Amino acid sequence: MIVSDFSVDECADQLACDGLRLNVGPFWCHIRSSLPLVASHIYQLYPDAIIDQDRAFVDFPIQISRKSGMRGWVKPLVEFTFNGNVPFTPLSLNQSPALTEWGINWCVSAHAHQYLILHAAAVEKNNKAIIMPAPSGSGKSTLCTALVARGWRLLSDELTMISIKNSMLQPLPKPMSLKNESIQVIQEFWPESVFGHVCTDTLKGSVAHVKPPTESVKRSSEEAKAAIVLFPQYQADAVLQLKSKEKAYAYMSLVENAFNYHLLGSHAFHALSSLVQQSDAYELTYSDLNDAISQLELLVS
């Protein structure tokens, strides 16, 4: 059974009562919420996710609910609860979809230490995966979403998970996160994409999420082999430029973007060494998405 087997009202009722036991990549989340925005977010952006309401064990028990107290009557706030604890400062009611996504990402990055986890996007085509570590504002998520729009398989747009056993990439095809100007850019570039609620006035500005392709979700158990480490950089009016980077630079940059490298110690060292050894590394400066995609198509052809 998948989420879209429910009607939107049934989905909302299930979330508000017993919760939904939802498959996300290799994990199971048990999500409870009576908030209409959260129900709409799950129904719109996770329609292909498998649900198993009889499942006894879940990785992440989650609740997104209105914060109680007098202040809530003036400015309604929502809080994310994991396993009975509240790890974040509450956000405004309007931001509950973004809080849901950020909370699930936190659950993974803080607990899934069977993987080396990088802050990076990852996509795959022709059995060659590209990892894109980059700081916020570099155009990483925009380029990732544009590649997915052109048929690349989404592995993850935020958290790249590397097996410490064989250095393969474990997909985590969650909704793709876009901010500010990137929202309109992708709406025009990919008119048939499904967008969720636009959360305004967050610390990152306006944030919206895009539904991952059905095929990417169905293939979430298929690992991918990294072939390229790419450092994208969007610059307005820039001429497309692709520069080869040394493996040592790629290695250290990936370490800087890892959540748990030091926690995993030698396991992380060996997994990352193997991945970098098998991969080429490039820096891509671009201003036009179609030009960037054409260049990357050549790299994986």
Residues 196 and 260 in one domain: yes
The domain boundary, picked from 78, 93, 112, lies at 112
Residues 295 and 260 in one domain: yes
Residues 102 and 187 in one domain: no
Residues 16 and 72 in one domain: yes
Residues 275 and 220 in one domain: yes
Q: What is the DSSP string of 247-284?
A: HHHHHHHHHHTBSSHHHHTHHHHHHHHHHHHT-EEEEE
Residues 166 and 206 in one domain: yes
State pLDDT tens for residues 235-288: 999 999 999 999 999 999 999 999 999 999 999 999 999 999 999 999 999 999
Q: What is the model's pLDDT at position 134?
A: 75
Residues 60 and 129 in one domain: no
The domain boundary, picked from 79, 112, 145, lies at 112
Under DSSP, is residue 79 helix (H, G, I), strand (E, B) or coil?
A: strand
Would you say residue 135 has pLDDT above 80? no
Residues 94 and 158 in one domain: no
The domain boundary, picked from 112, 132, 167, lies at 112
Q: What is the model's pLDDT at position 136?
A: 73
Give how many domains the chain has, as a whole number: 2
Find the DSSP H helices in 154-285: 181-189, 214-218, 247-256, 261-264, 266-277
Contacts of 65 by beta carbon, 8 Å cutoff, 6+ apart:
32, 33, 34, 35, 78, 79, 81
Residues 144 and 96 in one domain: no
Q: What is the model's pLDDT at position 71?
A: 66
Residues 164 and 251 in one domain: yes
Average pLDDT on 185-206 reads: 94
Q: What is the model's pLDDT at position 70?
A: 65
Q: What is the model's pLDDT at position 73?
A: 66
Residues 103 and 14 in one domain: yes
Query: What's the pTM value of the predicted model, to 2 decimals?
Result: 0.94
Instruction: Give the domain range for residue 36.
Output: 3-112
State pLDDT tens for residues 228-239: 999 999 999 999
State pLDDT tens for residues 65-95: 998 776 666 678 999 999 989 998 999 999 9
d(CA 157, CA 174): 8
Residues 62 and 10 in one domain: yes
